[in-house]
């Protein structure tokens, strides 16, 4: 709570530390890849004490996921266009664009790798997925309030995110805007089933 | 070609070497995980010369994928029940069962890891996916010959394999026989779209 209040003051020391640490992680991931640096490396690069990092994030895994969710939320916010279909089309196009790019695959690989990074890794991964799930649920709730019949979050995972992710991971099939639209068409058709 | 002819004689030396090397890989994966052993380790464990392994498989990546595709083809063959719907239900149930178990995830993680294992890794991965794709295409071709209207292999990837894989990788949602059946229902419904 205190952290959140601090984060709202963009000029505060807490916000400056957060920005410096996030930038250090982004740089280290680009230079060395995941799994090749420690909390100490991040702190040194950010010019802060190790204890500042441990106090705020607890573990490297939590820090990595904080950076990933911040990046995803900023670079690919869940849309709010006023119509479910348009929201889904904008969202799907963004997911395809992200996964076709190098950063999107890095974030996806991180989420996958965390499953084998012990209890802290699984916790950090689950927090990331829960936060993104909440953002998507908000989009679907807004549609329901407008009287539309949205799919479930799990349907979006199964039939929109999963196909794009697996095509990206396997290097199979095209990842184009037309493909994104096809997936949205199919997702919307699910609602029309008996 | 010569290798294939040799492999058809189950009692031949070539087949014995192949079986010993496959078993060595399976043991080493179980003991150390992927990425923690070399061709030399495999050869030593199998009691054969390093050169025997290099001559037949070329690289460790190719060997790993040969073991994975052999295991998958043996443990989870593509079904041939005489009906598309039944084939898909048996296949989907098997995929869900495999991914819910520890071996299935190991094979999936290997396929994903190979994308970052250089050119040999990508080649081995693509050979694996192409072989499994051919097996699935055979199932769909048999359906078409019977006058049924099967989906495309990519539809199976997008709407049957991808959701199961991503749920497994993310640790999200149930992986049950009922879920497998729902995915098949949706896959078959795709064909009824205009």
Query: Looking at residue A21, which CATH number applies to its domain?
Result: 1.10.10.60
Same domain flag for A40 and A84: no
Question: By the 8 A CB rule, do A95 and A161 touch?
Answer: yes
Looking at residue B1, the DSSP 8-state letter turns out to be -
Same domain flag for B84 and B151: yes
Looking at residue B168, the DSSP 8-state letter turns out to be H
Same domain flag for B74 and B64: yes
- CATH number of residue A103's parent domain: 1.10.357.10
Q: Of the residues B34, B58, B82, which one is the last residue of a structural domain?
A: B58
Same domain flag for B177 and B94: yes
Average pLDDT for A164-181: 94
Average pLDDT for B15-38: 88
Q: Which of A13-22, A132-141, B67-76, B174-183 has the lowest mean pLDDT?
A: B67-76
Name the more confident of A149 and A73.
Answer: A149
Pick A169's closest partner by Cβ from B112, B170, B193.
Answer: B112
Q: Which of A28-32, A152-156, B170-174 has the lowest mean pLDDT?
A: A28-32
Structure tokens at B89: 């239900």
Same domain flag for B24 and B38: yes
Model confidence at B48: pLDDT above 50: yes
Q: Tell me how far apart the alpha carbons of residues B143 and B79 are, in angstroms, rounded to a whole number.
A: 12
pLDDT of B3: 47
Domain that holds residue A36: 1-58
Q: What is the pLDDT of residues A29-46, one digit of tens each?
A: 878 877 789 999 999 999
Q: What is the pLDDT of residues A51-70, one digit of tens each?
A: 999 999 998 988 988 888 88
Place of tokens 């709407």: B159
Same domain flag for A54 and A94: no
- With CB atoms and an 8 Å threshold, state whether A172 touches B129: yes
Average pLDDT over chain B, rounded to an integer = 88
- With CB atoms and an 8 Å threshold, state whether B122 touches A171: yes
Pick B162's closest partner by Cβ from A111, A163, A171.
Answer: A163
Give the count of domains, chain A: 2
- With CB atoms and an 8 Å threshold, state whether B171 touches A122: yes
Same domain flag for B74 and B168: yes
Q: Tell me how far apart the alpha carbons of residues A5 and B93 are, in angstroms, rounded to a whole number.
A: 49
Query: Which one, of B114, B61, B102, B95, lies nearest residue B164 by Cα?
Result: B95
pLDDT of A1: 40
Same domain flag for B1 and B50: yes
Looking at residue B159, the DSSP 8-state letter turns out to be I
**Those residues with Cβ within 8 angstroms of residue A23's Cβ, 6 or more apart along the chain or in another chain:** A46
Angstrom CA distances, B5 to B1, B2, B8, B9, B46, stand at 6, 5, 5, 7, 22
- DSSP notation for A64-117: HHHHHHHHHHHHSPPP--SSHHHHHHHHHHHHHHHHHSHHHHHHHHHHHHHTTS
Question: By the 8 A CB rule, do B190 and B151 touch?
Answer: yes
Distance from CA of A38 to the nearest CA of B (A): 21
| Number of other residues whose CB lies within 10 A of the CB of residue B156 | 24
A69 lies in a domain? no
């Amino acid at each position: 709570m205190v952290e959140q209040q601090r984060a709202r003051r963009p000029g505060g020391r807490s916000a400056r530390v957060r920005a410096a640490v996030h930038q250090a992680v982004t740089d280290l991931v680009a230079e060395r890849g995941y799994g090749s640096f420690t909390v100490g490396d991040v702190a040194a690069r950010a010019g802060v004490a190790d204890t500042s990092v441990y106090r705020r994030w607890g573990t490297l895994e939590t820090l990595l996921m904080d950076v990933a969710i911040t990046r995803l939320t900023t670079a690919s916010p869940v849309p709010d266009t006023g119509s479910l279909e348009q929201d889904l089309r904008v969202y799907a196009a963004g997911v395809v664009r992200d996964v076709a790019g190098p950063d999107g695959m890095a974030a996806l690989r991180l989420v996958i790798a965390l499953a084998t990074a012990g209890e802290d890794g699984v916790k950090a991964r689950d927090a990331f997925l829960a936060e993104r799930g909440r953002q998507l649920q908000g989009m679907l709730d807004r549609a329901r309030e407008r009287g539309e019949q949205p799919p479930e979050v799990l349907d979006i995972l199964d039939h929109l995110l999963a196909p794009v992710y697996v095509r990206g991971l396997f290097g199979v099939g095209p990842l184009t805007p037309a493909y994104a639209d096809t997936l949205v068409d199919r997702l919307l058709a699910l609602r029309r089933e008996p």
